[in-house]
A and B are shown apart, each in its own frame.
Chain A
């Protein structure tokens, strides 16, 4: 088990290696399950990696410790990315990954906090996670360990009005222990976000609501870590990190493809994807 210091000292290179391992485990898991949101999970897996393996204070052997940092996957359909991170962190076994989306499995199609160890909130219905995360942040604001709460949102999800209710209330209550990260990959089920219902300008919207907002490359670990640190250093407002990402990132034929939003790789696609990912190992 790593100490806080060891965890925090992981650099971009080490995190990139973890993220590649997670992508491999996730694609295998999705192939086995036969369904699931491949593209949406690949676009945010780097952010989740940075949170679980560098930024957040959490201890799988003491999962209920009240002082832990919390993560809410508001875009709950990216559950596969969360599940492989929880497995690598030690919350669930490797064998469990074989049971994605099965009847008795703790790995439901969308995260279920009652079933799956390490899942902080049940999500899947878009628009609700930021409010839930803010509720946690308010409940924890006087905790001596000063836990932080992270919510990962989709960009299409910003079309839900409740997101902006939560944006208003988190700013109103100066909830600086809340950090929202927008996985801004520009695609949603029906097509291009800008064409379906534009959400721009995302960072300016959050700023106008009273948030500290910054825009980064959501696949550049140095930028992700830097933004998370900037969020920690902002003590009077919640922070929104708008992470520009590529849907399907890491597998060439999934990248920027709406078709890969909600489908799993077949055998041939899996082997092509693994060849790309393992071929890049050590580069």
Chain B
């Protein structure tokens, strides 16, 4: 474990440069935010393969689709709100429907965008990307996972959406950690419940697990960074082994990680589940830390949710026991 705190955006830019060195087919598009998304690192190194499309996300996405149809491997970037919301129908019809190998890497997801406020804080992007058939959706939690996700997306055949944050994040993975699209990992062992978390919230979940530990509660943490296709067998086995679940995401409560995990649980092991997410609200201006507190995206909120989940688990077990005694064979 390392205590480094690194920018996933900067890692994205550097990864693009390395990919560009490996393949002449890698092309990068941006919509006037290349300094913020860090695609400017690629622009500097490969100006002839970088296309600033100006402030026109719809044109950017469809141009990327055309490049893909002509054999290129495009990465298109903007802030999460614009890269998904402004051009959702373009992504659906021009990218996903024809199966284009377009990688949409969006930065500035969630409320931790900070002072720019609600208009710039995407809280629905994961939901609307998940809703598109065949779309792969990944929310990495650190710079190493970001690098590996970007590389995997480049060689993956089909549309991929990757959501990054504006905030720098602690590095929990090392070079040897495996990454595969659709495969989650357990980042902390535990038996009493499983906290499923992605992105920035994975780090909040780790703090929550420490707090729970002090109260004698052993929380498992699973990183399901690929939200679609989600690692259903990991989700199911965690539910079966720990008996209850909490999800934690920097996203609106509808359509994101909570729903993705819940869908698996409904089909496999319907255990008590609690969700930590933005509770059907828009963001607002503020310091990232204050905003996380304002929207209850805190270790304390995860601790409370965990206790509720465990309580429900115990209540269920008690009821099952009562039924067993009440109905003689």
A140 and B62 within 8 A (CB): no
Interface membership of A114, Cβ < 8 A = yes
Chain B residues at the A interface, C-beta cutoff of 8 Å: 27, 51, 53-54, 56, 58-59, 61-72, 74, 89-90, 93-94, 97-99
> What bracket does the count of chain A residues touching chain B fall in?
20 to 34
The answer to whether B58 and A135 touch across the interface, beta carbons within 8 angstroms, is no
Q: Say whether A112 contacts B97, CB under 8 Å.
A: yes
Interface centre among B53, B74, B90 (most CB of A within 10 A): B53
- Tell which of B53, B56, B65 touches A132, judged by Cβ atoms closer than 8 Å: B65
| A15 close to B (CB within 8 Å) | no
> Is A135 a contact partner of B64 (Cβ separation < 8 A)?
yes
A131 lies within 8 A of chain B by Cβ? yes
B318 to chain A minimum Cβ distance, whole angstroms, is: 52
> Contacts A131-B59, A169-B59; is A122 near B98 (CB within 8 Å)?
yes
How does the 8 Å CB contact mask read for A142-173 relative to B, with 1 for contact and 0 for none? 00000000000000000001100110110011
- Closest beta carbon of chain B to A40's beta carbon, Å: 19
Cα distance, A120 to B74, chains bound together (Å): 17
Q: Which residues of chain B are near A129, meaning CB under 8 Å?
A: 62
Q: How far is the CA of A132 from the CA of B56 in the complex (A)?
A: 14
- Interface pair A114/B66, CB less than 8 Å apart: no
Is A216 interfacial (CB 8 A cutoff)? no
**A120-B94 Cα distance, complex, nearest whole Å:** 12
Contacts of B90 in A (CB 8 A): 128, 131, 162
B134 → chain A, closest Cβ, in Å? 11
Complex A-B, nearest 5 residue pairs according to Cβ-Cβ distance, in ascending order = A135-B66, A131-B62, A139-B70, A165-B59, A135-B63
**Can you name the residue of chain A whose Cβ is closest to the Cβ of B68?**
A135
Q: Which residues of A contact B51 (CB under 8 A)?
A: 138, 173
Contacts of B61 in A (CB 8 A): 131
Whether A136 is near chain B, meaning CB under 8 Å from some CB there, is yes
For B29, the closest partner residue in chain A by CB is A135
Residues of B with C-beta under 8 A to A75: none
Chain A residue numbers with a CB within 8 Å of B68 are 135
Distance, CA A172 to CA B74, complexed state (A): 19
Verify if A262 is at the interface (C-beta below 8 Å from B): no
Given contacts A125-B89, A173-B51, contact A166 B59 (CB under 8 A): yes
Distance of A132 Cα from B93 Cα, bound (Å):
11
Tell me the complex Cα distance, A197–B173, Å: 56
If the complex has contacts A66-B71, A125-B93, A169-B53, are A136 and B98 also in contact, measured as CB distance less than 8 A? Answer: no
Q: A132-B62, A169-B53 are in contact. List 19 more A-B contacts (CB 8 A).
A: A66-B71, A112-B98, A113-B69, A120-B69, A121-B69, A124-B93, A128-B62, A131-B59, A132-B65, A134-B59, A135-B66, A135-B74, A137-B66, A138-B66, A138-B67, A165-B53, A165-B59, A166-B59, A169-B54
CB-CB under 8 A from B70, the residues of chain A are 66, 70, 135-136, 139-140
- Interface of chain A residues 57 through 97 with chain B (CB within 8 A): 66, 70, 72
A68 to chain B, nearest CB (A): 10
What are 28 A-B pairs at a CB distance below 8 A? A112-B97, A114-B97, A114-B99, A121-B98, A122-B94, A122-B98, A124-B93, A128-B58, A128-B90, A128-B94, A131-B58, A131-B61, A131-B65, A131-B66, A132-B65, A132-B66, A135-B65, A135-B74, A137-B66, A138-B63, A139-B27, A139-B66, A162-B59, A166-B63, A168-B56, A169-B54, A169-B59, A173-B51
